[in-house]
């Protein structure tokens, strides 16, 4: 295991203030559906903390200070939370060792979003609430949610303001005010950009930070992230932190984004899939250290095995846990000498015993493979047609009929 990072060098990036929260290192794990479950968040957080000196790890006060970044829960639908579906309550159940519990909410109805925020804050489920306005998945955007929603400027502002006011009011019973942040994309397509208007509106509504995935909805995950948009948003939003997201595959990418754009921090998503140890690199890099984790196959397999064990503990159902693990296999083994037959077998694994047997067949002495293990994770694909409600782009306003449609639409995507 690599040694802890020494104290930050002179000139290393300062910590990040998000409302009443102090984030010692300006690094955030992006919420990813089906990926950032509590076990994966724990692995990422532990990797980030491994880059800190013991004194820094011990200095956190629960709910007020996150020494090694924020690690955000996968997206929760506000309707499902208000209805307290069992799966949603499982999803928001935090790791008790996490110093700051971050939950991301999706919603298209201001009243429902406000009620969901109150539950999270009044019942002490979260220390930080993020609002999702960046999801590009068609089942969300065709209902007017996610990355489609900021086009309706009045609805966007009402949702954000309601969430902020609800968090502020519900925080009266807490020892700190729970901040609300947003994550969004730059727009629907090149002809319908929304990020500057949305950023200013969110700032006026009282959010504590704004994060931008520098792609349009139409881009999905294709092409290059347009970091110049982060620069422009930083120029437009001047009183709260602006965080950048998109094409962050290494600590060097994170440093370069912050240098180019002036962003106050970074949000890392796909880059950490199958390599939670990236957060050791990110935290170390932010503290001015050149420490980087370069694991051999033995270390990768051990992390995969621990991830699976944590998943079994989380679900209390080995079969379900192993099904959920299958998607992670290709990410973990990217670039490593694991043949096609072995990869297919791992992708069908159904028990921890099977996983152990398969790991035992690997050449665990294989070293870190270099560049083949780095870079883009997952499938970027190509641009995709934006799936939107009929006539969505005709106006930036919402009338009463549309408000009712959206209220009903939220019911149909709230199965979380």
Residues near 382 by Cβ (< 8 Å), separated by ≥ 6?
220, 222
C-alpha distances in Å from residue 109, one per residue of 231, 248, 308, 390, 393: 31, 32, 36, 18, 19
For residue 131, which of 182, 94, 84 has the smallest C-alpha distance? Answer: 182
Sheet arrangement for strand 209-216: 70-71, 27-29, 265-268, 242-245, 209-216, 180-187, 128-133, 102-106, 76-77
Q: Do the Cβ atoms of 129 and 107 come closer than 8 Å? A: no
Token pair in block for residue 407:
């209220």
Distance in angstroms between the alpha carbons of the first and the last residue of the chain: 37
What are the start-end ranges of the H helices in 142-295?
153-170, 195-205, 227-236, 251-261, 278-286
Q: Of these residues, 44, 73, 135, 272, which one is catalytic? A: 135
Sheet arrangement for strand 21-23: 16-18, 21-23, 65-66
Query: What single-letter DSSP state applies at residue 210?
Result: E
Is 272 annotated in the active site? Answer: no
Cα angle 378-416-383, degrees, rounded to a multiple of 5: 35
Q: What is the dihedral of CA 114, 120, 126, 131, to 10 degrees?
A: -30
What are the start-end ranges of the H helices in 335-392?
340-346, 352-360
Question: Parallel, antiparallel, or unpaired: how do β-strands 76-77 and 70-71 relate?
Answer: unpaired
How far is Cα 208 from Cα 396, in angstroms, rounded to an integer? Answer: 25
Token pair in block for residue 305:
């095995």
Q: Helices 352-360 and 297-315, interaxial angle, to 10°?
A: 180
Task: Write the burial class of residue 86 (CB in 10 Å: 0-12 exposed, 13-18 middle, 19+ buried).
Answer: exposed
Token pair in block for residue 45:
């957080």
Catalytically annotated residues: 135
């Amino acid at each position: 295991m690599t040694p802890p990072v020494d104290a930050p060098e002179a000139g290393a990036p300062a910590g990040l203030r998000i409302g009443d929260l102090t984030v010692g290192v300006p690094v955030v794990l992006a919420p990813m559906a089906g990926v950032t479950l509590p076990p994966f968040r724990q692995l990422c957080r532990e990797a980030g903390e491994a880059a800190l000196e013991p004194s820094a790890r011990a200095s956190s006060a629960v709910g007020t200070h996150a020494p090694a970044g924020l690690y955000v829960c996968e997206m929760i639908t506000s309707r499902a939370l208000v209805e307290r579906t069992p799966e949603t309550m499982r999803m928001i159940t935090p790791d008790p060792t996490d110093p700051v519990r971050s939950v991301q909410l999706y919603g298209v109805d201001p009243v429902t979003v406000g009620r969901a925020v109150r539950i999270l804050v009044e019942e002490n489920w979260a220390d930080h609430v993020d609002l999702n306005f960046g999801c590009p998945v068609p089942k969300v955007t065709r209902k007017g949610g996610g990355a489609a929603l900021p086009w309706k400027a009045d609805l966007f502002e009402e949702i954000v303001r309601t969430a902020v006011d609800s968090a502020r009011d519900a925080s009266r019973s807490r020892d700190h005010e729970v901040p609300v942040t947003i994550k969004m994309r730059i727009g629907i397509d090149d002809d319908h950009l929304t990020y500057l208007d949305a950023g200013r509106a969110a700032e006026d509504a009282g959010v504590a930070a704004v994060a931008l995935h520098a792609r349009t909805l139409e881009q999905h995950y294709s092409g290059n992230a347009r970091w110049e948009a982060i620069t422009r948003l930083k120029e437009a939003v001047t009183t709260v932190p602006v965080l950048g997201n998109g094409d962050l595959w290494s600590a060097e990418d994170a440093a370069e984004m912050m240098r180019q754009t002036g962003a106050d921090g970074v949000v890392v998503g796909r880059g950490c899939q199958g390599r939670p140890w990236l957060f050791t690199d990110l935290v170390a890099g932010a503290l001015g250290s050149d420490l980087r984790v370069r694991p051999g196959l033995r270390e990768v397999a051990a992390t995969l095995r621990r991830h699976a064990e944590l998943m079994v503990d989380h679900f209390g159902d080995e079969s379900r846990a192993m099904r959920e693990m299958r998607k992670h296999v290709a990410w973990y083994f990217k670039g490593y000498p694991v043949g096609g037959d072995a990869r297919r077998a791992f992708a069908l694994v159904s028990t921890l015993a099977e996983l152990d047997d398969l790991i035992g067949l690997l050449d665990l002495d294989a070293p870190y493979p270099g560049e083949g293990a780095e870079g883009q994770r997952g499938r970027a694909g190509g641009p995709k047609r934006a799936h939107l409600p009929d006539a969505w782009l005709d106006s930036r306003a919402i009338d009463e009929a549309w408000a009712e449609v959206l209220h009903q639409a939220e019911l149909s995507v709230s199965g979380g």
